[in-house]
Amino acid sequence: MKKILIALETGEAEKRRFLQTAEAAEVPCEFVFTTPGEVTPGQVAEASFIVGNVPPRMIAASENLDVIQLFSAGADPYMVPGVLAEKTLLCNATGAYGLAVSEHAFALTMMLIKKLHLYASSRAHACWQDRGPVTSLTESTVLIVGLGDIGLCYARLVKAMGARVIGVKRRGGPCPEGVDELVLTAEIDRILPEADVILSVLPSTKDTVHFYTAERFAAMKNTAVFVNCGRGDAVESEVLLAALRDGEIAAAAIDVCETEPLPADSPLWQEEKLMITPHVAGSFHHASIYKGVMDLACENLANYLTGRPIVNLVDFSTGYRK
């Protein structure tokens, strides 16, 4: 008897879909449906297959657990030694977030280059003020650091607006659709001075923590805008704040921070040239994300029960999907 733990908000239709997946595989299963906030250590300890981001401490390298399917693209809390047993397969939800997060990043980009964040500030102070010249994506150079599913979706959006798109990846290869030039991560210092817009969608790994140093911000155009919809630890708050206050970049927008929630006394809240959203680009705010997670979870459950290869496996050496 396989014990399947679904730690995800589900309605009756979603529960039936999981049950039908098991029935089709003709494998006896016992299902437990709960949520990440209500799941118990006992439920986690007994599970052989988990869907959902259960608290990592509850897993405690359980030898019963064969597969955990996350509903997030980021998997770093589950890669810490001692969380998963050696045999446990870790799967992320890369592919479910492309549309929603790329559109959020695109909206933030347009807000910055059209200075809408400054006009929002003026409105809050009942100030009728012309904020001066704006820029356009047309004929601009957009640098996308982290060319996964989200980065590629964003590339198609800005390319449609007439931008020149440069993608940054760890490994080389042919240029994907929507990308004009592909460079390796090791080459980023050469290409940074060309960018009018920098979008960061990096995961959190040992190689990406504090990736955007003071020196890298200094290398950017002072008219450039920086958007981070990847991981908050890619840039230190103090470094970003200094880059804005010193005029090394024109503006920035972040959906992620090193410390979340961002403390109320953080000086980032007071920086007029910075737009902040509270890690809402993803989550389940757009229906496409939930559908993508459900599709992936049911596919991997079917694969697990029938002995087919599991998809969306996380590479522990990189933090990316294999």
Specify the pLDDT at position 213: 98
Q: Is the pLDDT of residue 28 over 90?
A: yes
Active-site residue among 260, 272, 285, 308? 260
Specify the pLDDT at position 129: 96
Specify the pLDDT at position 206: 87
- Average pLDDT in the chain: 96
Q: Is 104 assigned a catalytic role? A: no
Does a cis peptide bond (omega within 30 degrees of 0) precede residue 176? no
Q: On the CB side of 116, how many CA atoms lie within 13 Å of its CA?
A: 10
**What is the percent of the chain with per-residue pLDDT over 90, rounded to a whole number?**
93
Q: Is 260 assigned a catalytic role? A: yes
**More confident: 17 or 203:** 17
Specify the pLDDT at position 251: 98
What average pLDDT does range 32-55 have in this prediction? 97
Q: Is the pLDDT of residue 319 over 90?
A: no
Q: Which two tokens stand for residue 251?
A: 């503006």
Plot region of 123 (φ>0 → left; ψ -120 to 50 → alpha; else → beta): alpha
For the ranges 24-33, 171-180, 290-299, which has the lowest average pLDDT? 171-180
CATH architecture of 2-96+285-306: 3-Layer(aba) Sandwich (3.40)
Alpha-carbon gap, residue 20 to 7, rounded angstroms: 18
Specify the pLDDT at position 205: 85
Active-site residue among 117, 164, 216, 231? 231
pTM listed for this prediction: 0.94
Active-site residue among 14, 271, 279, 299? 279
For residues 62-86, one letter each, b for 16 or more C-beta atoms within 10 angstroms of the residue's C-beta and e for the rest, the string is beebbbbbbbbbbbbebbeeebbee
Specify the pLDDT at position 61: 97
**More confident: 27 or 319:** 27
Neighbours of 279 (CB within 10 A): 16
What is the domain partition of the chain in residue ranges? 2-96+285-306, 98-276
One fold for 2-96+285-306 and 98-276: yes
What average pLDDT does range 284-289 have in this prediction? 94
CATH of domain 98-276: 3.40.50.720
Q: Which two tokens stand for residue 212?
A: 């955007």
Q: Max alpha carbon distance in the chain (Å)?
A: 68
Specify the pLDDT at position 10: 96
- Model confidence band, residue 316 (pLDDT cutoffs 50, 70, 90): confident
What average pLDDT does range 178-201 have in this prediction? 97
pLDDT digits 0-9 by tens, 117-146: 999 999 999 999 999 999 999 999 999 999
pLDDT digits 0-9 by tens, 55-91: 999 999 999 999 999 999 989 999 999 999 999 999 9
pLDDT digits 0-9 by tens, 143-163: 999 999 999 999 999 999 999
Q: Is 23 assigned a catalytic role? A: no
- Model confidence band, residue 5 (pLDDT cutoffs 50, 70, 90): very high
What average pLDDT does range 252-268 have in this prediction? 97
